[in-house]
Structure formats: C-alpha cells, structure tokens
Structure 1
C-alpha cells in the first residue's frame, strides 16, 4: 500500500502547483534600483577637474578621509555651471566612474608610449594616435572610448 496516495486530500503535486495557482507575495511593489545613466563627456571632464582640484588641494591634501574626499568631489561636480540641468551624481557614482576612467586611461598611456616608440619618420600625432588605438584594441579586445579623458589628463603627473 502506498503511504502517499495521489488522490488523498492533502496531496500537492509540486511540479504543477505553481503553474496552476499563482502565489501572491503581497501588494507592495519591490523598489527598483536607480536607473543606470551613461556619463557624458562634459560630466567626465568636470569629474576629472573635481578629482584634480580636490586631490591637489594644499589645505586638505592627503589629510582628508576617503568619504570626505569623494563627498567633496560630488559637491564640486553637482555645483558645476557646465552641468546645470543634469541629474546630480552621488559620491559613489563619482568614485566608481573615476576608477574606470583612471584604469582605462592608464592602459592607454602605455599604448600611446608604445606607439611613440614605433613612430616612423614623417608620422604625425594622428598617426601615433591611430597606432595607440590599435595597440589598445589588440591588447584589451575593446576600443578605447575615453580619449577625451586621456587628453585632459595626459600632462598631469597623477
């Protein structure tokens, strides 16, 4: 005799129970995470300016805590007249974007230096840039899309 007969009143077929009877978990909606927004060229340039000005501030320089540092960058970015009408960014977004910009620009610096070493007589800066982009693509399997950031940072020591 089967201890769990299929026709018993307490039997629930788990393979079909969810498809025949939807389970409601309540009427409240689950909050959506904030929508991801791409950074504009203007935002990138203001972020770079904010980072450079904040990191080189002789009054606070390296005496500031990490949270205070990024909070100052957030305030600088969101107060910029170049970004009037833009949705404000949070310090964590600034920190994350800076990490990406810094990583990619540092990689491109190496590619540009390699391209300069390969520079043939008669090649100009446009030729060097094309070779640098080719090296970046070959090394990292993606296009370098932050040239505007590199141009802003290329002569800065940091």
Structure 2
C-alpha cells in the first residue's frame, strides 16, 4: 500500500459537489445501484479535481463518511446557536423598544450568520476536541434537498419541508431528540397526532 496523501479543502469541496451531482443523476436514472452511484461520484470527482493524486473509490467513500458525519454534527450546533440567537432577539423585541430591552434586541439583531458559525465552531471544538474543518462543505450541503433527505432517512425523523428556507430545528425540537450516539438531523420536524 502506498503513502497516504492528506486531503485538501479543494478536494473535500469537490467530493461534496460530485456527491450532489451524482445524487441528481441518480434521481434522473431510477435504476442506479449504490456501486454505480459511487463510480459516478468517483468519475465526477476526478474529472473536476486538479490533483495528481488518484483517490480510490474506497478512499472517496471513507472521506465522504467523515465529511457527512462532521457536517451533521456541526449543522446541529449551528442550528442551536442560530435558534438561541433568534429566540433571544424575538424575546427582547417583545419586551419593548426602549431601555435595556431595546438595546438587547438591537445587539441580538446585529449578530451575523458568520458569528453564529464561529460560535458553532467553538462549540464543536469543545465537544469533539477537534476543529471543524468542513465549513465549505457545510455551505454546499446545507440547503441541498438530497442531503436533507439523507439526514431525514438516516434518523427516521420526518421532514416538514425539504424546500424550507430555514432547515433548522428549534431548541425545543432538539431537546426532544435525546442523546443517541448517531448524528441528529438539523431539520424542521412535522408534528403529528399523539
């Protein structure tokens, strides 16, 4: 076996694009089997990536598994940060626009998405003792219908709307997910009759 070469950020992002494009092709060709799906991913990856390193099919699958696992974990943390920020802003805004409450609302409203991302990265590091290095991959995957379906299918939690502009769970919905070792999705859930 040869020497392993570290993956670059560009390769990671190319792998995500290849996975998404192969998923789109799979939707068009309903008889595609998993083996042929990954062969398509491999072909798309090597057609696009600018590297002399030949990534074997097994290597692509292993890397995708790691990317997907970490992106799911990060997405959950980002959703919590985003939800808490949004909830705090809404609560402060309802108290009134004057005095300290008004200042709190203005401060919360000025929190940017990048600040939420940075906070989620800090939490990821605290929880997993490693940096989150797949931000570019997360940005590619986070609104993808196919990836959202993958999240829903991997956990059995129903998706309210795959085209939702806000594919995040609320804090209450997250607290009901429990603490199973498998990654949890960051999706709106449908509430059904009890």
Are the counterparts in 2 of residues 133 and 144 from structure 1 also a CA contact under 8 Å? yes
2:64 counterpart (89, 98, 106): 98
Gaps (5+ residues) in structure 2?
Answer: 86-107, 148-194
| Residues 140-155 of structure 1: pairs in structure 2 closer than 5 A | 140-155=128-143
Larger radius of gyration: 1
What displacement does 1:99 show?
0.5
TM-superposition CA deviations, 1:93-122 (whole Å, max 9, x none) = 111111011000000000100111222332
Distance 1:34 1:135 in 2: 36
Q: Distance in 2 between matches of 1:37 and 1:86?
A: 11
The whole-number CA distance in structure 2 between the counterparts of 1:138 and 1:145 is 14
Q: Matches of residues 36-115 of structure 1 in structure 2 within 5 Å?
A: 36-57=4-25, 58-61=27-30, 63-80=31-48, 82-83=49-50, 85-115=51-81
For residue 56 of structure 1, give the secondary structure of its aligned residue in structure 2.
helix
Q: Could you list the per-position Cα deviations for residues 74-99 of structure 1 after superposition, in whole angstroms to 9, with x for gaps in the alignment?
A: 1111122x41x422211111111110
Task: State the alpha-carbon separation in 1 of the partners of residues 38 and 114 from structure 2.
Answer: 35
Aligned residues: 123
**Structure (1/2) with the larger helix percentage:** 2
User: CA–CA distance in 1 between the matches of 2:58 and 2:39?
Assistant: 9
TM-score w.r.t. the length of structure 2 is 0.59
What's the CA shift for 1:70? 1.0
Q: Distance in 2 between matches of 1:148 and 1:137?
A: 17
